[in-house]
Amino acid sequence: MPYFQGASGRVHYRPWLARRPQAAIIFLHGFGEHSGLYERLAAELGGAAIDLWAVDEIGHGLSDGDRGIVGSIDALEQNARLLTSIARQTRPEIPVVLAGHSLGGVTAAVAVTHNPEPWIGVILSGTPISPPPWAREALEVGGEGLALEPADLSADPWYLDALANDPLAFTETDGSPLDSLPTAWEELGRRFGSVTIPVLFVHRRLLTPTTEKEPPMTTTDVALTPPQAESSIGQSARGGALARTVGGIEVLAQSVAAAAPSVAIASVPGSIFLVAGQGTLLSIVIAAVVVILVAYTIRLQARRTVSSGSLATFTGNGFGPGASFASAWGLLIGYALFAVGALLGAWLYASSLLAKLGISSSSEVAGAILVLAAISAALTSAYRGIRLSARVGLALELTSLTFIGIVLVASLVTYGFRLDTAQFTAKGASSTDVVLGAVLAVGAFAGFESAASLGLEARHAHRTIARVLIRIVFALAVLYLFASYTEILGFAKLTGSSAPLHVVADYAGVSWASYVVDLGVAVSMVAFAAAVLNAAARSLYTLGREGALRARLASVHPRFGSPHVGIVVLGVLAAAISLVFVFTGTGALTAFIYTGTTASFGFFTAYILVSLATPVWLWKRNELTAVPVITGVAAAAAMLYVVYKNVVPAPPSPLNLLPWIYLGLLLLGLAFYAALRLRSPERAREIGSVQVAAEAELHDSDRGPLHVGASA
């Protein structure tokens, strides 16, 4: 961690460096805060090509000094000037602006009053240039200590959570920083009016609360989320900032819901069995190894940098903006068609349940109603924010898996507690059959990577996402192996038109369980739809932030913190495509297979590109070893083989058309990128630039700084 020797001991600071920056901001935080609380501000500034250098004030964060005791304003000013010198030595060609919030704002104001050099301007957020009434009263009463009420400081839930749980943040101290302020206020009263450089005051947004109960945003909120109407300094021209409010459980839940294991268990083992027979378990093991290689490769980047752009950003790190856009477009195709498939699946299983209950739902109108009900529920969940959506999705998925577990356990009991050696020896299965089964099995893991789309929202994102990516794949592999083993025990009467779990339920003598299985899978489809809408909307958000798509797609809901415009656009698109299938008479199961197969090519594209791009990126950073090369090339080669076996030999019509439909959609996206590059090359170069580097590596001189935000 970087330190310098300051006015009264070691001073800790954090630099967030943009690619090809146009300016730098030296930021001084307020009482009880530390520089790490301003990571969201750093991401926003990075998107505007602005470096941020933030200091831990004396007695705050990781700097030396008694907790909350700052000494004199002059000492804080000296530290600000020392940090400015470091910033200017690092990038001497760009102008530097001084900024401060609250106590830091007073320091900044005093500093430019003394001497505005070397800053070209000053930003004062929530800065008491003269003593506010409460401070005047506290100084008159005297006494030791200072205690602030968090609710009086901000209405932002992320900031309030940080004050409550961040060990480096505090709102109470035995000493008082007020002792150093009267002299500063007296000096500002006499001399601040003579400051000659531009001054921007940021003090409470002029916005009406969205509800009567919602308080207006305070000056701390403005500092954490850069101003919109008040200033263009420190604000990206495109979109808003996603809040870092997501915990590890939500990251895991997003990955689980997008992978939709209950949906996979309901269909994939039966599909593999019809191809590989008793070699099904071996097919799943091979598929798991391939996906683990991909997950490991992704993890190598996720430990170092994160983004809402997920694999597309990682691909761009190695291969540049063109490959980044291709990966993003592939993911968008995959997620969008997965959303369609989820709506069709909800229609399929809900219809099956209603038929068992004697309610006819075979008409087109009934199908449309079920699809619209599913998309309404999915949109509501995703729109109201990732924390709610992910937790609801996880709960629904676990409920569905519980229902399925009833059937699987019953199958084990019926068979008896002995090993089915034929499955473990792949009896009668040829190597070709096993490999073809593995090709089908790989698709069951798709969606696990969606955890990476929460890179700008997850707390401790680099550690959390890297862990989830590996653990979720291992967990899915174990779950699929257990489910497949127990399902195959009851597959004696399985045919190509059978519902696998219904066949197993009949074998195990628990036919009644098919009711709850249909219900569970139907609601899991809704959670699946919400999860892929979440992931896809963040891809749109990233492309909007980077300027490749309309800035409106980078909008963040002021209350729920979701990229709501992208969610709605994708939801409406998925519903429209689903309704086309309904009203053209395409069966729900047939349409589900069409969309799922086509979507898989989108994920395979992203997996191949990121597997090859990651070793290249590590080579650029002088970090390449043999292991990333081996895993990356092996993962890409395996995925290319999966794609090849989906095309050769050509499947029967119309399945043989699906790869070409995907290729046409991919080429359409690449044509858009080519036009963007010709029309606006500076915007094209921004693709893949919105990301936040691991804090420990931001200023590693041996590797070079990792960049944050836009590349001009």
14 and 37 Cβ atoms separated by less than 8 Å: no
Q: What residue numbers bound the domain in which 113 lies?
A: 3-224
**Are residues 207 and 282 part of one domain?**
no
State the pLDDT at residue 186.
85
Q: Within this chain, do residues 311 and 430 fall inside the same structural domain, yes or no?
A: yes
For residue 241, tell me if it sits in a domain: no
The pLDDT of residue 207 is 34
- Give the span between the Cα atoms of 574 and 346, in whole angstroms: 13
Task: Let me know whether 262 and 150 are in one domain.
Answer: no
Per-residue model confidence (pLDDT) at position 564: 95
**Boundary-marking domain end, from 206, 224, 242:** 224
Give the DSSP letter string of 30-41.
-TT--GGGGHHH
* 101 backbone dihedrals φ, ψ, rounded to 5°: -120, 130
Backbone angles phi, psi at 26, to 5 degrees: -95, 120
Q: What is the largest CA-CA distance in the chain?
A: 93
CATH number for 34? 3.40.50.1820
Residue 712 placed within a domain: no
Nearest to 35 by CA among 54, 53, 22, 59: 54
H or E element at residue 381: helix 364-383
Residue 276 lies inside a defined structural domain of this protein:
yes
- Give the separation between CA 133 and CA 205, rounded to whole angstroms: 21
Where do the H-state alpha helices sit in 450-553?
461-489, 500-508, 513-546
572 and 660 housed in the same domain: yes
* CATH code for the domain of 571: 1.20.1740.10
Residues 179 and 258 in one domain: no
Residues of the chain with pLDDT under 50: 205-238, 497, 695-712
CA distance 38 to 25: 12
Count of domains for the chain: 2
710 domain-assigned: no
169: phi > 0 → left, psi -120 to 50 → alpha, else beta; which?
A: beta
Residue 576, judged by CB atoms within 10 A of its CB (0-12, 13-18, 19+), counts as: exposed
Residue 539 structure tokens: 């891809």
What is the pairing mode between strands 9-19 and 50-55? antiparallel
Helix-strand-coil split of the chain, %, nearest 5: 65, 10, 30
Round to the nearest angstrom and report the end-to-end CA distance of the chain. Answer: 28
Residue type present at position 563:
P
Residue 605 within a domain:
yes
Confidence at residue 233, expressed as pLDDT on a 0 to 100 scale: 29
**The one-letter amino acid at 28:** L
Closest to 39 (Cα-Cα) out of 127, 159, 150: 159
Q: Give the Å distances, CA to CA, from 219 to 30, 100, 225, 409, 421.
A: 11, 12, 10, 57, 68
DSSP code per residue over 541-559:
HHHHHHTSS-GGGG---TT
Read off the pLDDT of residues 319-365 as tens digits, 9 standing for 90 and up.
Answer: 999 999 999 999 999 999 999 999 999 998 999 899 999 998 889 99
Pull the structure tokens for residue 47: 């998107």
Q: Which residue has the tokens 């292991």?
A: 627
- Alpha helices, DSSP H, located in 142-279: 150-153, 157-165, 181-191, 219-224, 248-259, 261-276
Q: According to the model, what pLDDT value does residue 54 have?
A: 96
Q: Are residues 211 and 272 in the same domain?
A: no
pTM value is: 0.69
Residue that is last in its domain, among 224, 242, 262 = 224
Q: Which two tokens stand for residue 321?
A: 């903006």
Residues 660 and 559 in one domain: yes
**Distance between CA 298 and CA 645 in Å, rounded?**
24
Query: Is 397 in the same domain as 438?
Result: yes
What are 100's two structure tokens?
């401060």
The whole-angstrom separation of Cα 460 and Cα 230 is 31
- Nearest Cα neighbor of 617 from 311, 329, 308, 320 is 320
User: What is the token pair recorded at 466?
Assistant: 């890297």
Q: Residue 493: its pLDDT value, please?
A: 63
Is the link from the previous residue into 652 a cis peptide, with omega within 30 of 0? Answer: no
In this structure, how many other beta carbons lie within 10 angstroms of the beta carbon of residue 191? 13
Same domain, residue pair 327 and 379: yes
Evaluate whether residue 66 is within a structural domain: yes
Q: How far apart are CA 649 and CA 287, in angstroms?
A: 20
Q: Are residues 191 and 297 both part of a single domain?
A: no
Could you please report the per-residue DSSP string of 650-671?
PPSTTGGGHHHHHHHHHHHHHH
Beta-strand relationship, 199-202 and 122-125? parallel
At position 666, the amino acid (one-letter code) is L
What is the model's pLDDT at position 528? 95
Same domain, 209 and 258: no
Surface-to-core class of residue 139, CB atoms within 10 Å of its CB (0-12 exposed, 13-18 middle, 19+ buried): middle
Instruction: Among 167, 189, 224, identify where a domain stops.
Output: 224
- For the record, the structure tokens of 370 come out as 């079920």
246 is a domain residue: no
Same domain, 176 and 278: no
